[in-house]
Chains A and B, each alone.
Chain A
């Protein structure tokens, strides 16, 4: 069995703010992390390895520094890491991104046939949840999105049964392999890397594939291949409520203030 896990390096969004004047992301000193959903995808990949002896390849598209997120996958047991990095891949939207990832997986498939492609449900920076399905579409294979449990794999019949988490219900679906799966966070708890695992990851050679390897039409990738353009980023203005507090001597004052407000908003009526 061969599992390919797609991961993305994202800014730690809890630490990102928006500059209100320029409406751009303030990324100074903000660390990059593995997209949290992708950590679950990698963990699920390693579980296929534990259970079925699968070979696990982690791939990512991003700048050279994105090798860090691949090494995190290697540290917990992935066998191989491939970084898709080229200036012409830059500025890609979800369409162009899935184009490059799909091409890479097709290439990987030629040397070692791929059975399962795992992706996180979505990223925390874009939140589109489109790249996984995009890959499946381009590769013309089935897609199992929003999976929160893998129920069984039949290695002989080459099929998989999973549980999908939908808004008000769950559904159990079966698919033939190869297939593309996007995972929910509750599918598992990612394991914590051991220190020897980290050593292995640090020593591993990560292959870097540029467009000289993938040979894609430059009009279909990167900024050129992206129909989506960001015109403006802004933080929605939200009216903050007011917190009325008072301890000890201040307490009666605070209580009066709250009642006044309730009366003012006509939630209460004083007789």
Chain B
């Protein structure tokens, strides 16, 4: 390497590093624009997540092609070491890592050698995949080929340069580099001067491509190389990412209408997205041909924060790391209005089923962002699908979505003996019936069945009767924090009045809300889903069932019980106890279950254009040839019954709540 070469390289190198640092600083400054959120707790746990999901790529390898990514990731991790040596060596030719000791250095070189080959193979597989076996959710744009090409060029240049040097006898550690050694033979018989020239050219290509790659990252979806590891570290430490409790006060933001109202972690989410499309593949809304695409929302937010963030930064060059001012003007609106904005219809499509968050390899939290954008539309603008107005008003005035008189709530009991807390004053368990279980005529039948089980079991239980109000789940998910807050505050006051500690719910929506949302009000309740209780009652012999021989029952996991709260085995165990067989399974089950379409407040809205989600799920259930669809959620029940009606299924396949199946076979 000549002196001039070294000077030229040093200049390019320093310029590239400075430019890279400038870019990293820009990214950091953009993160700082967001609101503060504490994600620095449980650091050991976070470190574990970083190792498991970041370095271990646990969610990435959950899909077959993820293994390919795993190899690319680890080849980069290991190659980083020799690339640092390579870059410093470009300026100081005598520099190398041999000071670590011959054996460690030899190992490093051999790993780099092998991993470079692995990377080439993995890149070829990746390119083949996106050319010939491309999923719809993966885009095959310029970037999709440009980055793999850069990586391939890097690796090839590495081998060309090294093998040339090896054939010239310049590599002392060649016995550690099997791939290079075997390639070196290729140059036998070539003029040494030519080999030298080729080697130098390859070295320069490698150097320039490497430095270019470093600086191209922040401008491409390969920004995830920088952002996804921190994103795994800062991931939500709870299974369910509940929207933060809003201060409903004058002057406070009511939801999110500007991209800078997101927190820094939300913005990190945007940066961490690789557009791998796994969220889109599992989203029931995307999969039924509707506007919503979780990947699209995150991507639009990312472009939005970059565009708006740069404008804000330019307007206050001296105050680079401060959060955005409250009155910051946005050049690009967050919702509707440009290609860098989120589509409003997409926001209303979400069922908050959480499949996207379950699938995301880097733990992007989609649903709370969608809910917070809805909050702004509902609370600040009163801008929501018109059919929701009756829902909101009924919730506020009659404390239930049906708009039926609250004094009719307890009518579900009919002639059944139902102890009321107002009479008995105290009971071990409160059975929180929920609005569907109280007012929906079909769901009332399962409420009745469950009450019969409770009575048979002999445990101490009671109902709030007409004192119960809607839990507020749909209202909250639809962004109406105002009404949710009223309902939550009232219910919590009632719980406190009677000293309620343990609550049974039959509705997964009540379950999740009482368990995870009400916690934000400082009340810790032991919330039990009826499938958990029934399972325990059977196991403890408090109720006995007459086992039948039925292997034609399929179980549908409701999102809020399964994916959100991991109650997966209990309903299956109950069905096994009743039927003598484990239930049939749909292809999409347990934590990968496919939403019925009623969550996130969609229960109260008209279907959007596209296929109907409930119909899609019903077809999936019918594919198992089941004669009974067992559910553990009143909303899912409504959806399946509607789906079956569309299939013109006059009573052949039945939808039954697990409580009904148990009550039917219970030995009284």
Contact A14 B482 (CB under 8 A): no
Asked whether any CB of chain B lies closer than 8 Å to the CB of A189, the reply is yes
Contact B248 A194 (CB under 8 A): no
Expressed in whole angstroms, the Cα–Cα distance for A203 and B407 within the complex equals: 32
Tell me which of B254, B381, B386, B397 contacts A33 (CB under 8 A): B397
Query: Beyond A12-B405, A15-B406, A189-B386, is A194–B397 a contact (Cβ under 8 Å)?
Result: no
The residue of chain B having its C-beta at the shortest distance from the C-beta of A193 within the complex is B382
Contact A194 B407 (CB under 8 A): no
The residue of chain B having its C-beta at the shortest distance from the C-beta of A14 within the complex is B405
Asked whether any CB of chain B lies closer than 8 Å to the CB of A198, the reply is yes
Tell me which of A14, A29, A192, A194 contacts B393 (CB under 8 A): A192
Asked whether any CB of chain B lies closer than 8 Å to the CB of A31, the reply is yes
In whole Å, how far is B497's beta carbon from the nearest beta carbon of chain A? 15
Asked whether any CB of chain A lies closer than 8 Å to the CB of B379, the reply is yes
**Chain B residues with CB under 8 A of A193:** 382
Asked whether any CB of chain A lies closer than 8 Å to the CB of B193, the reply is no
**Chain B residues with CB under 8 A of A196:** 250, 254, 379-380
The residue of chain A having its C-beta at the shortest distance from the C-beta of B405 within the complex is A15
**Chain A residues with CB under 8 A of B482:** 195, 198
The residue of chain B having its C-beta at the shortest distance from the C-beta of A200 within the complex is B250
The residue of chain A having its C-beta at the shortest distance from the C-beta of B404 within the complex is A14
Flag A167-197 by CB within 8 Å of B: 1 or 0 each.
0000000000000000000000111111110
In whole Å, how far is A33's beta carbon from the nearest beta carbon of chain B? 6
Asked whether any CB of chain B lies closer than 8 Å to the CB of A199, the reply is yes
**Chain A residues with CB under 8 A of B382:** 191-194
Contact A194 B379 (CB under 8 A): yes
How many B residues touch the partner, as a band?
A: 10 to 19
Contact A189 B381 (CB under 8 A): no
Asked whether any CB of chain A lies closer than 8 Å to the CB of B392, the reply is yes
In whole Å, how far is B338's beta carbon from the nearest beta carbon of chain A? 24
Tell me which of A31, A191, A198 contacts B397 (CB under 8 A): A31
Tell me which of B248, B393, B397, B406 contacts A195 (CB under 8 A): B248
In whole Å, how far is B362's beta carbon from the nearest beta carbon of chain A? 34
The residue of chain B having its C-beta at the shortest distance from the C-beta of A190 within the complex is B389
Flag B361-391 by CB within 8 Å of A: 1 or 0 each.
0000000000000000001111010100100
**Chain B residues with CB under 8 A of A31:** 397
**Chain A residues with CB under 8 A of B381:** 194
Query: Beyond A31-B397, A189-B389, is A195–B405 a contact (Cβ under 8 Å)?
Result: no
The residue of chain A having its C-beta at the shortest distance from the C-beta of B380 within the complex is A194
Tell me which of A29, A33, A198 contacts B407 (CB under 8 A): A29
Expressed in whole angstroms, the Cα–Cα distance for A15 and B407 within the complex equals: 7
In residues 26-45 of chain A, which contact B (Cβ within 8 Å)? 29-31, 33
The residue of chain A having its C-beta at the shortest distance from the C-beta of B406 within the complex is A15
In whole Å, how far is B488's beta carbon from the nearest beta carbon of chain A? 16
Expressed in whole angstroms, the Cα–Cα distance for A29 and B406 within the complex equals: 10
Expressed in whole angstroms, the Cα–Cα distance for A136 and B84 within the complex equals: 90
Flag B393-432 by CB within 8 Å of A: 1 or 0 each.
1000110000011110000000000000000000000000
**Chain A residues with CB under 8 A of B386:** 189
**Chain A residues with CB under 8 A of B379:** 194-196
The residue of chain A having its C-beta at the shortest distance from the C-beta of B481 within the complex is A195
Expressed in whole angstroms, the Cα–Cα distance for A103 and B207 within the complex equals: 90
Expressed in whole angstroms, the Cα–Cα distance for A190 and B398 within the complex equals: 18
Expressed in whole angstroms, the Cα–Cα distance for A30 and B405 within the complex equals: 9
Flag B247-274 by CB within 8 Å of A: 1 or 0 each.
0101000100000000000000000000
Contact A195 B254 (CB under 8 A): yes
Expressed in whole angstroms, the Cα–Cα distance for A157 and B381 within the complex equals: 35
**Chain A residues with CB under 8 A of B406:** 15
Expressed in whole angstroms, the Cα–Cα distance for A15 and B380 within the complex equals: 31
In whole Å, how far is B636's beta carbon from the nearest beta carbon of chain A? 23
**Residue picked from A29, A33, A192, most chain B C-beta under 10 Å:** A192
**Chain A residues with CB under 8 A of B250:** 196, 199
In whole Å, how far is B253's beta carbon from the nearest beta carbon of chain A? 11
**Chain B residues with CB under 8 A of A33:** 397
Contact A12 B397 (CB under 8 A): yes
In whole Å, how far is B439's beta carbon from the nearest beta carbon of chain A? 13
Expressed in whole angstroms, the Cα–Cα distance for A190 and B390 within the complex equals: 10
In residues 473-504 of chain B, which contact A (Cβ within 8 Å)? 482
In residues 182-223 of chain A, which contact B (Cβ within 8 Å)? 189-196, 198-199
Expressed in whole angstroms, the Cα–Cα distance for A195 and B253 within the complex equals: 11
In whole Å, how far is A200's beta carbon from the nearest beta carbon of chain B? 9
Flag A230-267 by CB within 8 Å of B: 1 or 0 each.
00000000000000000000000000000000000000
Expressed in whole angstroms, the Cα–Cα distance for A104 and B397 within the complex equals: 30
Expressed in whole angstroms, the Cα–Cα distance for A198 and B397 within the complex equals: 15
**Chain B residues with CB under 8 A of A189:** 386, 389
Contact B380 A195 (CB under 8 A): yes
Expressed in whole angstroms, the Cα–Cα distance for A31 and B407 within the complex equals: 11
The residue of chain A having its C-beta at the shortest distance from the C-beta of B388 within the complex is A192
In whole Å, how far is B304's beta carbon from the nearest beta carbon of chain A? 24
Flag A18-59 by CB within 8 Å of B: 1 or 0 each.
000000000001110100000000000000000000000000
The residue of chain A having its C-beta at the shortest distance from the C-beta of B384 within the complex is A192
In whole Å, how far is B601's beta carbon from the nearest beta carbon of chain A? 14
Expressed in whole angstroms, the Cα–Cα distance for A179 and B368 within the complex equals: 50
In whole Å, how far is B329's beta carbon from the nearest beta carbon of chain A? 19
In whole Å, how far is B320's beta carbon from the nearest beta carbon of chain A? 32
In whole Å, how far is A249's beta carbon from the nearest beta carbon of chain B? 14
In whole Å, how far is A50's beta carbon from the nearest beta carbon of chain B? 13
In whole Å, how far is A194's beta carbon from the nearest beta carbon of chain B? 5
The residue of chain B having its C-beta at the shortest distance from the C-beta of A26 within the complex is B407
Flag B189-224 by CB within 8 Å of A: 1 or 0 each.
000000000000000000000000000000000000
In whole Å, how far is B355's beta carbon from the nearest beta carbon of chain A? 30
The residue of chain A having its C-beta at the shortest distance from the C-beta of B651 within the complex is A247
Expressed in whole angstroms, the Cα–Cα distance for A26 and B138 within the complex equals: 64
The residue of chain A having its C-beta at the shortest distance from the C-beta of B389 within the complex is A192
Contact B405 A192 (CB under 8 A): no
**Chain A residues with CB under 8 A of B397:** 12, 31, 33
Expressed in whole angstroms, the Cα–Cα distance for A192 and B398 within the complex equals: 16
The residue of chain A having its C-beta at the shortest distance from the C-beta of B397 within the complex is A33
In whole Å, how far is B293's beta carbon from the nearest beta carbon of chain A? 28
Expressed in whole angstroms, the Cα–Cα distance for A15 and B409 within the complex equals: 11
Not counting A192-B389, A199-B250, a sample of 15 additional A-B residue pairs whose C-beta atoms are within 8 angstroms of each other reads: A12-B398, A14-B404, A15-B407, A31-B397, A33-B397, A190-B389, A192-B393, A194-B382, A195-B254, A195-B379, A195-B380, A196-B250, A196-B379, A196-B380, A198-B482
List 26 contacting pairs A-B, 8 Å CB cutoff, sorted by A.
A12-B398, A12-B405, A14-B404, A14-B405, A15-B405, A29-B407, A30-B407, A31-B397, A189-B386, A189-B389, A190-B389, A191-B382, A192-B382, A192-B389, A192-B393, A194-B379, A194-B381, A194-B382, A195-B254, A195-B379, A195-B380, A196-B250, A196-B254, A196-B379, A196-B380, A199-B250
Residues of A at the B interface (CB closer than 8 Å) are 12, 14-15, 29-31, 33, 189-196, 198-199
Q: Which 7 A-B pairs have the closest CB atoms?
A: A15-B405, A195-B379, A192-B382, A14-B405, A199-B250, A194-B382, A195-B482
